[in-house]
Amino acid sequence: MIVMKFGGSSVADAQRIRHVVGIVKTQLDQKPVLVLSAMGDTTDHLLEAGSAAFQKGAVLIEQIENHHFDTIKKLKLPNQVRKEVSALLEELKRLLSGISLLREMTPRTKDFLVSFGERLSIRIVAAYCNSIGIPAQACDAWDVGFVSDSNFTSAELIKESWELIPQKIAPLLKAGVLPIVTGFIAKDLNGNITTLGRGGSDLTATMIAAACKAQEAQVWKDVDGILTADPRIVAKARPVETVSYEEAAELAYFGAQVLHPRAMQPCIKTGTPVLVKNSYNIAAPGTRIVAVLDKKSVPVRAITFRKNVTLVDIVSTRMLGQYGFLAEVFSTFARHHISIDMVATSEVSVSLTLDAAQDLSAVKKELARIASIDIKTGKAIVTIVGNVRRSSEILAKAFKTCQLIGVPVQMISQGASKVNISFIVNDAEAVEVVKALHLDFFGKL
Ligand code: ASP
Ligand code: MG
């Protein structure tokens, strides 16, 4: 069997749904399980409706309602699904009235609220499949074994899911039915609806693929695969043919937002390949994400960057020995729940980077007892993802490029996961550096 996942823009309206089901139809002999996101920007619209209820006491779901009913009409679906969709929309209205009366919106309520998007989309697509002769069944994730912890808005699946999912999915496939599963959502052990974090449908798909030992997980997007750089910055960016799971996870974290950062985790356990394809351009080969790469492959896979980073230089005032100093620095950040991205240390100093959004005043005050601290804002992390065993070659080239364009490199670090080399430049220089590096490593083409 295989898993095919389609994101919001792939199922945005009646036309897109027809197109996507057309793609599925060509692979029915592979016994696919379908995972879908909410239609188009429905998740955002639900969150907007939630804020309107919470802030203004208004229940506004006309846009969501019209779009789903309009799609049902355009796909000429039977009355039964219209009833199911109406029932869900009524429930949604009751929830929004509740929010508007209580003027309260907890993370648990938020997850319940956004769950409607996926619950609506699978019912519509399943009805469409059935109407054209593909026997399909809409499955809410909790009915096919998705059990999570209660960490609302970014829940983790619990280990029992690994057994439950294949138990529930196998009989459907055996009966020749196409299961169509809600991405993104699950239920905790108390029966509350949870979500796996924005973009979480990818994780739903890779989890089903890994737990059911699928041949592959196909993740259908609106881009040609994982690209060598952000195409808005590097016009010549092109799809990467193959990447390792670690590289894909690294790229997801550093701005190339093609996949959910945690989506690789289930497949790493089982070695299940993930194929990223473009539903708008079926002919494009896409990107294959696998456990082990061909040794001969090129040293650099992609170049990404993240802006708005703060660089903190902490120099010991020699009140503590080396071990005591480093321990004190990191535990201070931990106590204040400030997460750190890059670190470089020497015996008496630490340089580290973090997201500019975090408030550093308390940490600064505490650390002042043992160190002098210099905080520099307006920095960017440029990351080269690739084969770090060839790091000297990569670094030599990268430094030469930076020198040629006159950009000083302010700190460098090699990712612990051994697939990235990152360095810090000024925010204003980041785009120029990425462009130059791309030209250097991937040529003009
Ligand atoms: N619909 C959810 C979101 O927009 C989940 C997903 O698309 O993967 O974040
Ligand atoms: Mg979405």
Average pLDDT of span 178-200: 97
**Mutational test site, ligand 1, from 3, 119, 182, 184, max ligand atoms within 8 Å of CB:** 184
Q: Which two tokens stand for residue 105?
A: 């919106």
At 345-367, the pLDDT tens digits run: 877 889 999 988 888 999 999 99
How far is the centre of ligand 1, averaged over its atoms, from the C-alpha of 243 (Å)? 24
In DSSP notation, 269-310 reads HHT--EEEEETT-TTS--EEEESS--TTS-SEEEEEEEEEEE
- pTM metric for this prediction: 0.84
Output 304 or 97, whichever has higher pLDDT.
97
pLDDT of residue 414: 76
pLDDT of residue 416: 61
- Determine if ligand 1 sits within 6 Å of the CB of residue 183: yes
At 107-116, the pLDDT tens digits run: 999 999 999 9
pLDDT of residue 392: 85
Residue 197 CA: nearest ligand 1 atom is 9
How far is the centre of ligand 1, averaged over its atoms, from the C-alpha of 222 (Å)? 14
Of the candidate ranges 52-66, 102-116, 179-193, 416-430, the one whose mean pLDDT is the lowest = 416-430
- Determine if ligand 1 sits within 6 Å of the CB of residue 7: yes
Q: Does residue 433 surpass a pLDDT of 70?
A: yes
- Determine if ligand 1 sits within 6 Å of the CB of residue 201: yes
pLDDT of residue 334: 92
Output 323 or 248, whichever has higher pLDDT.
248
Strand ranges of the sheet holding 300-316, from the earlier edge strand across to the other edge:
340-345, 349-355, 300-316, 371-386, 420-426, 411-414
**Mutational test site, ligand 1, from 47, 114, 182, 221, max ligand atoms within 8 Å of CB:** 114
Q: Which two tokens stand for residue 389?
A: 């065993």
Average pLDDT of span 8-13: 94
* Cα separation, 3 vs 219, whole angstroms: 8
- Determine if ligand 1 sits within 6 Å of the CB of residue 40: no
